[in-house]
Amino acid sequence: MAQSYHYKSKLVDVDLVLDESPPRRIATTLDALKILKPIYRTLRPDREHLVILGLSQDKKFLAWDVFSGWHNGVQVTRRDLTFAAGDMRAYGVILSHNHPGGKLQPSKKERWIVARARAWLRELEITVLDHIILAAPFGVSAFQQRTWSDTETEKLRDLVEARAPLRRMARTLSRTEEEVKARAAEMEWLLPGQKLYK
């Protein structure tokens, strides 16, 4: 007979019961999915939810919390997010949300929100280790797609402030011009030649 492992969320009255022991360390997206999928099974599938997994410094699973929204989004404030992560006493967190419509790709708005969440949590010295999107029955790590590191983002900001040509920015960062434009738009920076209003 398998032993059950119980984890209680502080925000919702739901017990997470895992039939098998959780991974000792969450080293990959698959390790995180072993914990996330049972959580999502307890939640309404027609609504979007944001789940936060708290991890210790050596990436052991500590706790989880969930914010529930509507069929097309979840509203989480800076205060909510920082309080939840701080209350877990987490060194790092994995953010996850579901797409009830089944689309696995993060939207530009979602990328922008995650970038803001990373900045908010960085102020508390909490690292966002991954951003996982679930669309039943699959899960995908948005960070495993080609994401922007903090160093690359700072380099892009310097190039934008220096008014470097778009082609030079792309070549310097080993990115396409479209990727540079998208990242600048996410960070709300104007590239050379762009106007605030059209």
Locate the DSSP E strands across 75-194. Answer: 92-98, 127-135, 138-141
CA atoms within 13 A of residue 109's CA, in its CB half-sphere = 4
pTM above 0.75, yes or no: no
The verdict on 64 and 84 lying in the same domain is yes
Residue pair 62/160 in contact by the 8 Å Cβ criterion: no
Tallying the residues shown for the chain, one arrives at 198
Would residue 166 count as lying in a domain? Answer: yes
* Among the listed residues 16, 23, 18, the one whose alpha carbon sits nearest the alpha carbon of residue 52: 16
Any domain includes 196: no
67/154 same-domain check: no
pLDDT in tens, the chain (198 residues): 333 344 444 444 455 555 566 677 887 777 888 888 888 888 888 888 999 999 999 999 998 999 988 888 888 889 999 999 989 999 999 999 888 887 777 777 888 888 888 889 999 999 988 888 887 656 666 665 556 777 788 888 888 888 888 888 888 887 778 778 877 777 777 777 765 443
Structural domain contains residue 194: no
Residues 130 and 164 in one domain: no
For the chain, how many structural domains are there in total? 2
